[in-house]
Structure 1
Amino acid sequence: MHVENLLSQSPSRYLDVDQHQRALHAEIAAGERGDTVIYSEFAPVYTAGSRTDDADIPDPDVPVVRIDRGGSVTYHGPGQLVAYPLVKVHGRQDVVAYVRALEAAVMALAAEYGVETRRVEGRTGVWLPEDPSGAPDRKLCAIGVRFAKRTTMHGLALNVSTDLDDFDRIVPCGLRDAGVVSLRDLGVAASLDEVADRLHPHLERELARFRTPADAVTGA
């Protein structure tokens, strides 16, 4: 898969990246370009997917961008790696299987850093193991996707060194009985560029079965 690395010293505006994602998505859906992953870091923004309830945003002063992915409201900001795999899907469009593949890629990445993660039944994303003390589940990586014209959009948001206090103004992903965590909180000191470089081969592996054969794509 091609890489569009938008990581820089200055986090990008969400709407700028979203516009770029949609332009690439149109090309990929039309068979004019090969599958591409966008890696980015956003300036602080709250985005709300199709399953967002008003109660998920208890502070009416929080500015929220409504978008066409699944899931509820979440926060994006500095220190968080956002990855948007734009993949022209070959065969059955299985959204659940695709989400599980994204989860598997992030879980494999976390294992490289010595971090044990798991899935939680009935919830998307990547989570820490259950706390024996009964503390709430903590999410390391949120996932929200959309299939349009047989091509995927949006993707995952992995907390690398994110300031987690910024999640306090919302109910992250609409889950009132869960929290969030970052790799930094777990003792991992890594830059977003490093994490993106290490995540990419796992995405390549996990998403291979969804991808249209290269000889069917003009720009591959």
Structure 2
Amino acid sequence: MTAPRQPFFPADRSIRADADGLLDVRRLGEVDYLEAWDLQAELAAQRARGEIPDTVLLLQHPSIYTAGKRTQPEDRPTNGLPVIDVDRGGRITWHGPGQLVAYPIIKLADPVDVVDYVRRLEEALIHVSREVGVTRAGRIDGRSGVWVPAEGERPDRKIAAIGIRITRGVTMHGIALNCCNTLEFYDYIVPCGIDDAGVSTLSQELARTVTVEDMEEPFLHALEEVLSGRMTVADHTFGSAPDPCRGLGRSRRS
């Protein structure tokens, strides 16, 4: 989706406060969600104090549901599995093996432009999805993340989700790119609060296995390019739909 206004910075300018600094990449393997959340909070505080450089965590999670601040009671799982309520935006989603999760801990340049940051994350994900063969990957106006358009009896379907938090100008949480994970656990929730679309993976779209390891380096490269402004956000919008978070306040845990 295109931004509702012009970004605060020119498209070819870095959105990072430390425009010339290298990203510290940490490949963590499979990490418990709460352990990773605690690590993010610790690193974000250190980054805000200037004690560490911009950092990107690459990992996978054991199977878990997480509920953002706009999650509604009807979104929650019907299979009895636990849900972790988190401080990111958005509604409910699932994480598990076969899904590339990236948590950028980035100090953004002033004035902080949340919309531009999200669009740049989307751009990196669209780029790597198209490069691997999902050439129709793009945006739906009104909905974050990366989508593949409907075809035949298959509806629009999400292949990458984005949920972020920014505190003291430092980003937390991030992206989840479905590579070769199961889709079973999405059947028991309303993913991202959207009940009129589907969920897919790169492997399902391409009818071949695309692993997390296949996508790590391409994503890191694309992320550096978009954050620096060397890769600019383009209009990859192919449709529009209602924003699943519009008008919703924070929901109490059920």
- TM-score strictly above 0.5: yes
Shift of 1:18: 1.0
Spell out, residue by residue over 1:177-215, the C-alpha distance to the aligned partner (whole angstroms, 9 max, x if none).
111000110224233122111110100011125xxxxxx
Partner of 1:82: 101
- Aligned amino acid, residue 33 of structure 2: Y
Residue in 2 aligned with 1:15? 34
For structure 2, the residue ranges without an aligned partner over 5 or more in a row are: 1-22, 230-254
In 1, distance between residues paired with 2:225 and 2:141? 24
Amino acid at match of 1:64: V
Cα contact 1:62–1:169 (8 A) shared by 2: no
Q: Does residue 6 of structure 1 match 2:28? A: yes
C-alpha separation in 2, matches of 1:193 and 1:87 = 23
Please state if 1:33 is matched with 2:84. no
Percent sequence identity is 43
String of CA shifts for 1:11-52, please: whole Å, max 9, x gaps: 321111111111111111111111011001000000000110
- Residue in 1 aligned with 2:196? 177
Partner of 1:202: 222
Counterpart residue number, 2:150:
130
- Decide which structure has greater helix share: 1
SS in 1 for 2:87: coil
Residues 1:62 and 2:81 are matched in the alignment: yes
Q: Distance in 1 between matches of 2:121 and 2:72?
A: 25
Structure 1: segments with no counterpart, 5+ residues: 210-220
- SS of residue in 1 equivalent to 2:195: coil
- Write the distance in 1 (CA, Å) between the matches of 2:106 and 2:77: 35
Measure the CA separation in 1 of the matches of 2:174 and 2:213: 17
Residues 56-112 of structure 1: per-residue CA shift (max 9 Å, x gap): 115272311000000000000010010011110112211111111000000110121
C-alpha RMSD over aligned residues: 1.3
**TM-score, normalising length: structure 2:** 0.78
SS of the aligned residue for 2:228 comes to: helix
Distance 2:226 2:173 in 1: 16
User: CA contact under 8 A between 2:57 and 2:102: conserved in structure 1?
Assistant: yes
Residue identity opposite 1:147 in structure 2: I
Counterparts of 1:134 and 1:189, CA distance in 2: 23
Q: CA deviation at 1:134?
A: 5.9
Match of 2:211 in 1: 191
* Separation in structure 1 between the aligned mates of residue 24 and residue 48 of structure 2, nearest angstrom: 15
- TM-score, scaled to structure 1: 0.89
Matches within 5 A, 1:147-166: 147-166=166-185
Q: Secondary structure at the match of 1:161?
A: coil
For 1:193 and 1:203, locate their aligned partners in 2 and report how far apart those are by CA, in whole Å. Answer: 16
